[in-house]
Structure 1
Amino acid sequence: METLKLGAWKLTWLDGGVTHLDGGAMFGVVPKPLWDRKYGVNEKNQIELRTDPILLQTGNENILIESGIGNGKLTEKQKRNFGVLSESHVQNNLEALGLTVHDIDIILMTHLHYDHSCGLTVWDEEKQDYQPVFPNATIYASQIEWDEMRNPNVRSKNTYWEMNWKSIQHQIRTFQEEITIIEGIRMIHTGGHSDGHSIIEIINGGEMVLHLADLMATHAHQPPLWVMAYDDYPMTSIFAKEKWLQYGQKQNAWYTFYHDAYYRAIKWDDSFTITDSVKRVR
């Protein structure tokens, strides 16, 4: 498990599962000869995308950023379509760190698409229903995202699923524009990828992390105009990414990734040359 120290805090990437999605969809209108120089593609024109939650340990709180694709939630057809090669090992990862799912205090959900939220619930044979995976956690999401999760439209119903929200309703805490989770951790609503999409700013020991989530799904999505065909509001994504890249550059921030198959975190200089990184062990 790769780690990043941020002052007195520690970030650890857990194994939430792996998908493979169409590269053209992931890079939208960007021509393939441009994006496949930066990110590997297989013979089916699919790119590898992790779904790896980040465990943030402050010394007082155990915080998860996203939840992975879970276990036993996808049909065989969905696994084929989404290129799922393995599902979540988050529980095993936590046990290796001396923790259990009961030790997670807070979960920060940038948005609630299936590949981010399937890890929040699991089927319980005895109760014949889905139950929370992290029963003691307070789960944060923007109010807009939570509203659409429960009342999806004709497009979003393909990614907002009742089995991922019904049993965790009592754990959800929502916000409007932004919220300070604890001192040094802030969630900010941006919209773009989804109407309720949010990003996360983490500051400790004079260092900053910006988790732009699906505004910048991988390191190859750094150019502001390189947005996904999956984005509901692509111009909002472009403007938000441009804003937060400029902001982070001034702060010498780390940028962290949930989906990237090659990098866990990156620092760029003003010309977007990588100056420091945490690479995923492949």
Structure 2
Amino acid sequence: MKLSLFNISNFKIDGGAMFGVVPKVLWNRVYPSDENNLIPLSLKSLVVEVNGRVVLFDNGIGNKQDDKFMSHVYAFGGEGLIEGLAQRGYKPTDITDVVLTHLHYDHCGGGVYRDSEGNLKLTFPIARYHVSRAQWDWAINPNPRESDAYLPENLLPMRDLGALNLIEAEGEFIPGIELRFFNGHTRGQIIPIISYRGRKLVFVADLFPFRSHIPLPWIMSYDVEPLKTLKEKETFLKESYEGGYIYIYQHDYFADCSELQLTPKGIRATDGFTFDELMKKLK
């Protein structure tokens, strides 16, 4: 099994929205904002090559949105989707599977692009695009709270061009990769768990956007069912700590990974480290 992590782009978002009811005086100490209350986020994708399959987890915002849309995203830096893959030796035609943790625009927009004539095409033409059925049904009939995050131009081409596969149940996706469903952030979010050299690596997506979201009450305002998120976090953190899981953070600007430790205040993240450091540690 070969693993790669790369950062498609950074962007900025309101810090209060990312930390919900947690007062700014607390969250600003661990994840500081600028003068406009904006905080930086990364937008990382994970590639897992195993048993002849090349699986890409999430694919960023993409480049088909107009200037008005992007003016609210504050994108900066990063490697780019195609460029980041190329740096790791992959072309779009090498990707056999795209697993989308969920269908908010920052996780799935890169899977579809506009050609020179304005037609919507699949970025990964031979890949199957995998989404939980619960998330798909939720996204194509969006509620008012999330409707701005579900863009038809990101979603419908996957179905209309014949690439969509709806995952009905949790469990083994392919040998070495397990998919779990979580419903607090949005219905049917997929969290992948990768078995690698005797350890479990978890691409935690929007269950734990940052290391600083490990404490139970630190929940985003974006979550549609925060009390469900609270319970999901509590249950999964216990499993993760007891199992020695390593978390890979999709949005944490300051760290790629961490382990978990037990403290007098409960389970917390260890100091963060880079993905390269993780690969060296597990060599």
TM beyond 0.5? yes
Please say if residues 17 and 70 of structure 1, whose CA atoms lie closer than 8 Å, have aligned partners that are also in contact.
Answer: no
After TM superposition, list the pairs within 5 Å mapping 1:197-236 onto structure 2. Answer: 197-236=189-228
Name the residue aligned to 2:186. 194
**CA distance, structure 1, for counterparts of residue 75 and residue 270 of structure 2:** 30
Deviation at 1:253? Answer: 0.9
Residues 69-148 of structure 1 aligned to structure 2 (within 5 Å): 69-71=61-63, 73-86=64-77, 89-126=80-117, 128-148=118-138
Aligned CA-pair RMSD: 1.9
Aligned to 2:6: 14
1:278 is the counterpart of 2:274: yes
Flag the 1:26–1:235 CA change in 2: closer, same or farther, 3 A.
same
The aligned counterpart of 1:32 is 24
Give per-residue Cα distances to partners, 1:42-77, cap 9 Å, x unaligned: 111111011111112226221111111111x23323
How far apart are the structure 2 equivalents of 1:15 and 1:98? 15
User: Structure 2 CA distance, aligned partners of 1:182 and 1:279?
Assistant: 23
Is 1:16–1:70's contact at 8 Å kept on the other side of the alignment? no
Question: Equivalent residue of 1:194, what SS?
Answer: coil
Consecutive unaligned residues of structure 2, counting only runs of 5 or more, are 278-283
| Cα deviation code 1:67-96 (max 9, x no counterpart) | 11111x233232222222257612112222
TM-score (norm 1): 0.90
Displacement of 1:28 after TM fit? Answer: 0.2
Q: Is 1:152–2:148 an aligned residue pair?
A: no
What secondary structure, in the 3-state scheme, does the structure 1 residue paired with 2:178 have? strand
Match of 2:37 among 25, 37, 45: 45
CA distance in 2, matches of 1:255, 1:142: 21
Shift of 1:206: 1.1
Report the Cα distance in structure 2 between the residues aligned to 1:75 and 1:280, rounded to whole angstroms.
Answer: 35
Structure 1 residue ranges without an equivalent (≥5):
1-8
Residues 135 and 227 of structure 1: is their aligned pair in 2 closer, same or farther, counting only changes over 3 Å?
same
How far 1:275 moved relative to its partner? Answer: 6.1
Q: Does 1:65 align with 2:57?
A: yes
Report the counterpart of residue 266 of structure 1 in structure 2.
Answer: 258
Is contact 1:68–1:119 with CA below 8 Å preserved after alignment? yes
Partner of 1:165, secondary structure, is helix
CA distance in 2: counterparts of 1:15 and 1:279, whole angstroms: 11
Q: Compared with structure 1, are the counterparts of its residues 161 and 118 closer, same or farther at alpha carbon in structure 2 (3 Å cutoff)? A: same
4+ runs of 1 displaced by more than 6 Å? none
Q: Is the 8 A contact 1:268 1:275 kept in 2?
A: no
Q: CA deviation at 1:279?
A: 6.3
Q: Give the Å deviation of 1:106.
A: 1.2
Deviation at 1:179, TM superposition (A): 3.4
Contact kept in structure 2, 1:188 and 1:198, CA below 8 Å: yes
**1:110 and 1:152 mapped to 2: Cα distance?**
17
Are 1:269 and 1:275, in contact at CA under 8 Å, matched by a contact in 2? no
| Residue of structure 2 equivalent to 1:4 | none
Query: What amino acid does structure 2 have at the position aligned with 1:146?
Result: W
Per-residue deviation at 1:149? 2.1
1:233-265 Cα distance to aligned partner (Å, 9 max, x none): 111111111111111111111101111101111
> 2:66 & 2:10 partners in 1: Cα distance?
15
C-alpha distance in structure 2 between counterparts of 1:106 and 1:230, whole Å: 28
Please tell me whether residue 257 in structure 1 is matched to residue 253 in structure 2.
Answer: no
Q: Is the 8 A contact 1:25 1:230 kept in 2?
A: yes
Distance 2:86 2:79 in 1: 13
CA distance in 1, matches of 2:185, 2:165: 21
Match of 2:280 in 1: none
- Quote the sequence identity (%): 30
| Residue identity in the other structure for 1:75 | D
Q: 2:166 aligns with which of 174, 181, 187?
A: 174
